[in-house]
Structure 1
């Protein structure tokens, strides 16, 4: 569970309405739930609202979601404050979420954190650079432990990072470039860093592995 800061009143918009695109997504989402069970769609609607509003949720959006789903506003706020994927204060264009759980820590997540601090001057959760480009949030497991350490930026996860690769990634983002996500060391999938160690002699013949093609058919009983 997280303890989240809510944006000050001067940052809160006076109103929040669904765009036509958001409304269409909401209509399609609600069709997936039985009548009277629309409150179960609270997480999808929080996601839609956050994407509509530059990756954060103002209180007016919380209220609109509650009205849309016919549920108490406090219930919507409870969900929004529980999950780290929802932001209740404005964040930068590039939302940096480094994982520092044990597998990433053992593989050098401290280098990723040090680079973010050195290159961007960000030292604590939800700190944002003065130009509004980058926001930091240290998170728990992102589920890519085999390719640790990893850093999620907006919707994408960058893997196999170290100090220098993180610095290069940040510079690319500063230059307006969005590098291809995945392994930053050009590793394919989750294979060992020195290359595959199994099935390396497997050859295919007409789409069938060679060892299978040579296999004798089972005797008929």
Structure 2
């Protein structure tokens, strides 16, 4: 039998229950601890905590009686989930076949070379997160970059560099 783990959870500093975990527990109970409710529980956790830190994933795994590897696998498979704190801005570079053949890799390369920003990482100042997408399904606008959720068509390395550099220099 799995025992409850000790997390920065049930109580906050003054000893009162942590309302974010309470809401997560309600979602788990509403789904009768069903393992097939994992995605819904992950959505609630991200809504409550802002991102899915390891302690939260461990808690969910224990409560749903699932292997941590499965919970982590689902959390990292779907792009809507984040296992890192959110940054103010997100830049996604599409490297699907059409974008790649029309220069998508050059978009990524200039950010790495000029700003030392690597895919899957946050900028040193925590303002920008850089992602790579395997295909955004909009091949007619290749090479594409997504800035804070908005698709920008036919981007040049200079376009991407200017946008991301501007974000990094914001106060």
**Shorter-chain TM-score tier:** 0.5 to 0.7
- Are positions 1:120 and 2:96 aligned together? no
Match for residue 45 of structure 1 among 41, 62, 65: 41
Greater fraction of residues in helix? 2
- Aligned ranges 1:50-199 → 2 under 5 Å: 50-54=46-50, 56-66=51-61, 70-74=64-68, 75-90=70-85, 92-122=87-117, 124-174=118-168, 176=170
Q: How far does residue 86 in structure 1 lie from its aligned partner after superposition?
A: 3.4
Q: Which whole-Å CA distance do the structure 1 matches of 2:154 and 2:80 have between them?
A: 22
Q: How far does residue 105 in structure 1 lie from its aligned partner after superposition?
A: 1.1
Check conservation: 1:125, 1:136, Cα contact below 8 A. Answer: yes
Where does the alignment leave 5 or more consecutive residues of structure 1 unmatched? 1-13, 178-221
Q: How far does residue 121 in structure 1 lie from its aligned partner after superposition?
A: 1.2
Distance 1:42 1:132, change over 3 A: same
Over the aligned positions, Cα root-mean-square deviation in angstroms equals 3.5
Q: Which whole-Å CA distance do the structure 2 matches of 1:132 and 1:88 have between them?
A: 14
Provide the aligned length of Structure 1 versus Structure 2. 155
Distance 1:66 1:166, change over 3 A: same
Q: Which has the higher contact order (CA 8 A, sep 6+)?
A: 2
SS in structure 1 of the partner of residue 133 of structure 2: coil
Which structure has the larger Rg? 1
Where does the alignment leave 5 or more consecutive residues of structure 2 unmatched? 1-6, 10-17
Q: How far does residue 39 in structure 1 lie from its aligned partner after superposition?
A: 3.0
